[in-house]
Amino acid sequence: MVIRLHARSAQIIVAGTIALVFLAASWAALRPWLAERSLSRDPTRETASRALSLDPANHRIRAMIAALHHYSLRLRDYPAALAAYQSILRDNPLDGVVWLHLGKLYAALGRLSESDRALRLAAQLGQSNTALLWETAVAYLDQEQPSRTLDALTGLLSASENPSDLAKGYELARTLLTSEEMLDTFILPTVAHYTRYANYLLDRNLNDQALAVWIRLADLAPRTAEPIDPYLQLRVVDLLMQAGRLDSAHQLWTAAVQRMGFADAKAQSNLVSNGSFEWNATVGRGFDWRIRGVSGVAASIDPFTAYTGRRSLRLIFTKSRADFSYVSQLVPIRPDATYALQAQIRTDGLTDPTGIAVEVIDPDGHALVTTDAITGTKGWTAVTAQFRASDGIEIVTLRVRKAPPPPYLPPISGVAWIDNVSLARVP
C-alpha cells in the first residue's frame, strides 16, 4: 500500500512538472505575439511600454517602438527613436532596414554626414532587398543628392527583374537625367539591362529612345556572344517597319524567327512568312500575317483543319456584303523578276459567284496578280498564278481577297479555309 502511494505521488509530481513546462513554453510562445498584437492595435506610449515589458528582447517590438517615435505624429520623439535605433544596431549591426530608418532620422535632425553613412550601410547590407534600395533612393532624393539617388537606383535595377520595380527605377532616374545620359551613365552596358530598358521604353511608345537602346544592344551582343531576346527583336521589327526601314526590319525578322525555331527549312525559297499558318507566336507581328475580321466575316486560325500540318486560316461569312481583304502580309521581293504564287483553298457552302482568291498588290495598291477564285463547296484546291515585278518594286502586299457580291444578289454565307500559301522566285 505504501509503495502504491509513493508511486502515485511520483506520477503526480511528473505530471505537474510537465504541465508547468508546457505552460512556460506556451507563455514563451504567446508572449511575443501578445506584445506585438497589443502594440499594433493601440500604438500609444503605455501600450509600447507594456509590450516591451512583456518581451523586452523582442527585436521587432523594439523596431516598432522606434518607428512610432520616429514617424507617428502622436508619439513623435526623435531622441527616443534615435536611442532605440542605436540600441537595436548594437545588438544587430547587420540590420539594413534599421540603418535605413536611422539614416532618415539623421536627415530629419540635420545630421547629413551621419545620414549618408547610415544610408550607404543600408544599401550595402540590403543589396538584394529591392524595397530597401528603393526607400534608400527616395531618402537621398529628399536630401537633394541626385548622384546618391542614382547609385541606389542602380543597385535596385541590378537586384530586380520585376517589371514594376524596373519601371519605378527608370521613371525616377529619368526625372534626373536626359535620355542620352540614361544610356551614357546610368543603364549598365549589358545585354540584360539594355533589353529591360528597351522593353520599358517600347511599353510607353517612346520609340525613338527605344531604337537608340536597340542600336547599342545590337552592337554589344555579338561582342559578348550573348543571344538577344527574340520577342524584343519582334518588337523592334514592328518599330523599324513603322519607320519605313523595311530592309533592316526584314533582316532582323529573319534572325528572330530562325532563333525561335519558326523558319521553314523545307521551303527556303518561299518568301511568305508562316504560309502554313502553323506559327502562333508571330501572327500579327513583323512580316507575318495580319488577320482581322469585319462585320459579317470572322477571320481566325483553325487548329483542327489543314491541307498539311495542323492549322489553316478560316473565314466564316455570315450574311456578309464586305469587300474583304483583311488577311495580309508584306513580302520583300527583288525588282525585275518573275514570281509564282500558290495556295490551297477549301470551301463549304460559300454562296457567292465571286469566290475566295489570293492576290499580290504593289505599293500603289494595284493588283499585280490574282489567283482563280474558289466558291461553293470544294475540297482542297490548288490555285496558282505568276507575275513579273517591274523595276522599283521591292516590297508587295500578299492578301486574301473576297470581293463583295453584286447588289442584286443576297449576302454571302459559308466557310473558306486557306493553307500552304507560297510566293517563290521563278528561275
Closest CA relative to residue 343, chosen from 385, 292, 301, 282:
385
- Closest C-alpha among 89, 91, 90 to residue 122: 89
In a domain, 56, yes or no: no
195 and 240 both lie in a single domain: yes
| Statement: residue 25 has pLDDT above 50 | no
| pLDDT at residue 12, as a whole number | 58
Task: Note the pLDDT of residue 68.
Answer: 83
Based on the fold, state whether residues 417 and 344 are members of the same structural domain.
yes
- Looking at the 3D structure of the chain, how many domains does it have? 2
Q: Which SS3 state, helix, strand or coil, does residue 427 take?
A: coil
Buried b (16+ CB within 10 A) or exposed e, 142-158: ebebeebbbbbbbbbbb
Cβ atoms of 155 and 127 within 8 Å: the answer is yes
Q: What is the pLDDT of residue 27?
A: 37
pLDDT band, residue 61 (cuts 50/70/90): confident
Average pLDDT over residues 391-408: 93
- CATH classification at residue 315: 2.60.120.260
Tell me whether residue 138 is in a domain.
no
CA dist., res. 371 & res. 418, Å (int): 13
pTM for the complete prediction? 0.78
403 shares a domain with 355: yes
- Look at residue 282 and tell me if it is in a domain: no
Do 307 and 258 belong together in one domain? no
Mean pLDDT of all residues in the chain?
87
- pLDDT tens-digit map of 117-140: 999 999 999 999 999 999 999 999
Instruction: State the residue range of the domain holding 255.
Output: 189-263
Residues linked to residue 419 through DSSP beta bridges, in sequence order: 344
Adjacency order of strands within the sheet including 297-302: 297-302, 312-320, 412-425, 337-350, 376-389
Confidence tier at 75 by pLDDT (50, 70, 90): confident
- 306 shares its domain with 421: yes
User: Do 257 and 300 belong together in one domain?
Assistant: no
What CATH number is given to the structural domain containing 243? 1.25.40
Q: Greatest CA separation found in the chain?
A: 122
Is 82 a member of any domain?
Answer: no
Position 423: which residue type? L
Instruction: Decide if 202 is inside a domain.
Output: yes
Q: Is the pLDDT of residue 104 over 70?
A: yes
pLDDT band at 67 (very low <50, low <70, confident <90, very high): confident
User: Over 50: is that where the pLDDT of 38 sits?
Assistant: no
% of residues, the chain, pLDDT over 70: 85
pLDDT at 34 over 50: no
223 contacts 193 by C-beta, under 8 angstroms = no
**Does residue 66 belong to any structural domain of this protein?**
no
pLDDT in tens, 323-371: 999 999 999 999 999 999 999 999 999 988 889 999 999 999 999 999 9
> How high is the pLDDT of residue 35?
42
Does the pLDDT value for residue 7 go beyond 80? no
Region 101-108 average pLDDT? 93
Q: Residue 260 in contact with residue 282, Cβ under 8 Å?
A: yes
Q: Are residues 243 and 299 in the same domain?
A: no
Residues 397, 297 share a domain:
yes
- Please tell me whether residues 258 and 296 are part of one structural domain: no
- Residue 21's pLDDT band, with cuts at 50, 70 and 90, is very low
pLDDT digits (tens, 9 = 90+) for 261-289: 876 544 568 999 999 999 999 999 999 99
User: Domain ends where: 247, 263, 279?
Assistant: 263
pLDDT in tens, 223-270: 999 999 999 999 999 999 999 999 999 999 998 998 888 765 445 689
Strand partners, 329: 398
Determine which of 34-38, 146-150, 388-392, 408-412 has the lowest per-residue pLDDT on average.
34-38
